[in-house]
């Protein structure tokens, strides 16, 4: 681990980061580095304490160890999402396998750092997640909503509507849908989606894209014609089915 003085550029606003780590020395190291970088930090040594902190403080981001004394980080994240809490999560773990990364991100996480880690890398990833999730203050003026058929995604308010019905998405699901909406009726290859949404290639393993597309379909296509289509062996395309008329946006 590097010296915590090797810090990323301070954020534009004072966001709150919850550090959930049962190792006191690592917890202190991360808290010190994040505080020096300009973040407000809340600490927790286990899942129960962390869940209380989320309910009382609602942090902008959670740095979460996977191996906790009273739960594991994957289950903790699933519990958060089941409660409708979509705070971005950065996993910390000693596990290095691709399968573990897929499980972690499929459970609702947003990024993954393996131990031993460089503090500066953690800070850079924290900043990147906050930027991607729209939590960083001082951004340019609001962009117009992205629309296709009866689907609308508003990046400024982080809202999604399908056929007049609000759709609740996690930060990663939101970015994936924004990626597809930015290129309607174009086939996006899975590696291209990985680069645009997750910013890396998972060593060629694209199953995480399949998992998140499945989640999006379940939420978007519940009572309406399917919009996300598989192009076998290539990737995915956002388009109306051939036999559907184009409903007007509401």
Global model pTM greater than 0.95: no
Ordered structural domains, the chain, with CATH = 16-133 (3.40.50.2300), 146-238 (1.10.10.10)
pLDDT at position 238:
95
What is the rounded distance in angstroms from the CA atom of residue 29 to the CA atom of residue 43? Answer: 11
Q: Which residues of 117-139 are buried (b: 16+ CB within 10 A; e: fewer)?
A: bebbebbbbbbbbbebbbbbeee
Q: pLDDT tens digits, residue range 30-62? A: 999 999 999 999 999 999 999 999 988 889 999
Handedness of CA 113, 118, 122, 127 (dihedral sign): negative
Q: pLDDT tens digits, residue range 109-154? A: 888 888 888 999 999 989 988 887 764 433 434 568 899 999 999 9
Span 168-186, average pLDDT: 90
Nearest to 43 by CA among 57, 55, 31, 56: 31
Q: Where are the alpha helices (DSSP H) in the chain?
A: 24-36, 47-57, 73-82, 98-106, 119-133, 171-181, 190-193, 207-220
Span 148-165, average pLDDT: 89
pLDDT at position 81:
83
Judge contact between 71 and 47, C-beta under 8 A.
yes
pLDDT at position 108:
77
Rg (CA), the chain: 19
Q: pLDDT tens digits, residue range 226-241? A: 999 999 989 999 999 8
């Amino acid at each position: 681990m590097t010296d915590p003085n090797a810090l990323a550029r301070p954020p534009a606003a004072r966001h709150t980061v919850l550090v959930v780590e049962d190792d006191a020395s690592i917890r202190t190291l991360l808290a010190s580095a994040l505080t020096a970088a300009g973040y407000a930090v809340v600490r927790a040594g286990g899942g129960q304490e962390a869940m209380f902190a989320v309910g009382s403080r609602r942090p902008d981001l959670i740095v979460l160890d996977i191996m906790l004394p009273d739960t594991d980080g994957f289950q903790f994240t699933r519990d958060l999402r089941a409660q409708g809490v979509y705070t971005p999560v950065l996993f910390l773990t000693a596990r290095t396998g691709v399968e573990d990364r897929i499980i972690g991100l499929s459970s609702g996480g947003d990024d993954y750092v393996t131990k031993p880690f460089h503090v500066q890398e953690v800070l850079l990833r924290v900043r990147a997640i906050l930027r991607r999730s729209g939590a960083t203050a001082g951004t340019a003026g609001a962009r117009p909503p992205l629309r296709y058929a009866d689907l609308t995604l508003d990046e400024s308010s982080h809202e999604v509507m399908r056929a007049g019905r609000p759709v609740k998405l996690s930060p990663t699901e939101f970015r994936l849908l924004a990626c597809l909406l930015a290129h309607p009726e174009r086939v996006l290859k899975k590696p291209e989606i990985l680069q645009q949404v997750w910013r890396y290639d998972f060593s060629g393993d694209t199953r995480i894209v399949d998992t998140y597309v499945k989640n999006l379909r379940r939420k978007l296509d519940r009572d309406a014609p399917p919009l996300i289509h598989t192009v076998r062996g290539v990737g995915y395309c956002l388009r109306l089915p051939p036999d559907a008329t184009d409903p007007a946006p509401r």
